[in-house]
Structure 1
Amino acid sequence: MARTGNMQQRLGGFKSKARKLMAVCMGGILLLSSGQGLADRLHEGLQSRSLKSASGVSSQLDVTGTHAKCEFSSSATESTPAISKESLTLSKGSLTATLECTTTDSGTMSSIPSPLAGKVCVIRPKDSGTQCKFGESVDAAMSVEVPLNDVLGTTSAVQWTENNKEQKATQLKSWTLKLNEEDLPISDKTFDVGCSYTTAAKSPAKSAACQLTVNVKARASSVSDENVVTCSYGAGSNSETLKVDMTTARNTVTIDCGSEGTLNPTANSAQYCNPQNKNLDDCKKKFVDILPNFVISWWTKPTPGSASILTIPAADFPESEQQFRLGCVPNTASQSDPQDTRDDPQNQVQSQTSAMTTCSVLVTVKAASSASYASPSLQMLIAVSGAAVVSGFVVASL
């Protein structure tokens, strides 16, 4: 019985050790399995982080007044916008714009157009010039390079100038555009400039861009002391009424409609507009009704494309003051210029079509006087005679 008991104790101890060994083996297997899973998850996380950090590049364009700053940086996700768009406005009181582009990365950064100098980007029909590549595709039209002075309609050599700034830690490029008042267009204009950036990685290289829309407000319509009217058609160009006085001493009025407008009524119509109607849409009145001797030859145009000049001979001035209205209306071709067709909703407010206004001039023809018709010598004789009469009265009273 004692031997049997000892035998059972040995068997029990062996089973206990076997269970412990089995538990240790199972624990090792589980540990190895969980360790491999942890390693896999760690590898996946690192790989995901690596993919995110190299997934793309982003752009951020900010505008303060007329200063625009574009910053390029690495993007953690593919969903980050690759094109950043903003706008600024130039006008009579604000004639200088600056574009600054910067990045801390080692990729390639360049201007749009490249180089940024005498050309800018506008929307034109396809196949009409060198394309400006901001990144988006346009079906019916595309952004192309055109001379800036053509956009503004000026003969001046206007252009962007590059500013040299030394920056060790970053890539920094800056350009400035300075206009003079005479460079302002006769209708509101819009053009684009910007910067592009491409990462240094060979495969796959990523790119981003900043697109700056520059709105240029038209100059105001004006009239000089010599009765020369220069018309413009911007949204704010004709807020004030233009007035001209014609006298026998200053008996001409010159109307310059420019390349984007047409005289209304036309010179050969012998008609004028209702002086009470600023919009030039009641223009069937006849000049002979207020100037009986009127003939079409009073209108002259020295050279094709130049301003139209109305001259009233001194002898044909009316006996009483008269008024008439005329002016310039925007050409239909100018209003439907393809430059103004834009897909981006933020640019719709810049449409030249809806903004163009009529240039209206109120002309007052002063009444003739007997002194006005007299020759200079006769006027002098009258003045001397008057002085002699006054002197006679003075002597007689002494």
Structure 2
Amino acid sequence: MTWRKNEKVGVNLYCSHALSDRQLCSIRVLLFAGEIYDQQGGYGPAASPAPFSASQRGYMPTSPVVSPAGLYSRDHIQHPGIAPPMGVSQGLAEDFSSLSLGSVPGSFDTGLDPEILPRPLAGDVEPNSLAAMWHLPLGAVVCPLAEAPDGEEVPIVNFATTGIIRCRRCRTYVNPYVSFTDSGRKWRCNICPLLNDVPGNYFAHLDASGRRVDLDERPELTKGSCEYVAPAEYMVRPPMPPLYFFLIDVSISAVKSGMLEVVAQTIKFCLDKLPGFPRTQIGFITYDSTIHFYSMKSSLMQPQMMVISDLDDIFVPLPDDLLVNLSESRNVVDAFLDSFPSMFQDNMNVESAFGPALKAAFMVMGQLGGKLLIFQNTLPSLGAGRLRLRDDARIYGTDREHMLRIPEDPFYRQMAADFTRWVVHPVWQE
């Protein structure tokens, strides 16, 4: 099990500004310590861009209309790889050179790839001055954990002996921008900036320039992106096999809509694409006014259905048989999916006990975690979490309209908290 600390910080700012052509400005901000990405894919200090050539790629720009901020409409920046015309302000970039404390500028890899974070505008400008000029709130969209480009591997760091090194005040992870002092016995956080002790088994001497002598052996101190092997204290439980559990509404509304056929065909089509083979586990629950469990152990020729009708006292029958290894029970799973639509084609039950079925699924998955895929076709009408249709066009636009957005039942909020606590990820399909 691994998780990633990503120092790539690409920020999009979208601002509606009163330009003469009434277009939307799109500005990309780069937050990298002392380094600015250039259009050729290299890195270096921010420099004045080359003059724009109207003959590049046959692009013949019209006379640009410059906003007071020196920014151009989308029409003038939609050609990738071509430097845009320069105005009073030449783009938007932020230089964090003051944070580059732990290593000499240019001695670490930011991990920025032009395909992940292209820069549409060149040059730099002070963000505060733009905010003061526009008189608009600025928003940022940050995308961490970006996929690594083809051919590039994210280094893996294992702190098994020391534990992951983090600031004891703000919990910042050790990174290329921290500084080491006191002959390597302490490190200063680049965020808060608290002075932290260096664990004995992480200690390394400093050279004449203040760099650790083992810097080249420490990806977390030289790379903008790295992955940590998660220690036991970062996990709710030991790593488990991938688990996919399907919760399917089989009331008359779902049958008449054709949902059952689509669900069965889609799940069967996706079985070979589920990750984790051959460890993948799978299970099913269906429900109308009752809850139906299915045993699919590999020794069976056909799945066995068990029906629970008491919605106030849910229990799990044969808990060891409800989750099966997909590779071992594939024939039984296929037989179930092939016969699933016909099993309920004559079902006339109009009720939906979605809340109790959700609790039953949690009881099956709670100790293991996994992904719960829910196919729901009608409003829950029985048991815990039942809802009523509250839509009322008469209160639209009145001071009572907000009442429609207030949850009617705290049941689903509590279930969401329970799912999160046990690393179960519900996915709804309606």
TM-score w.r.t. length of structure 2: 0.23
Please state which structure has a larger fraction of its residues in helix.
Answer: 1
Please state which structure has a larger fraction of its residues in strand.
Answer: 1
TM-score w.r.t. length of structure 1: 0.24
Q: Which has the larger radius of gyration?
A: 1
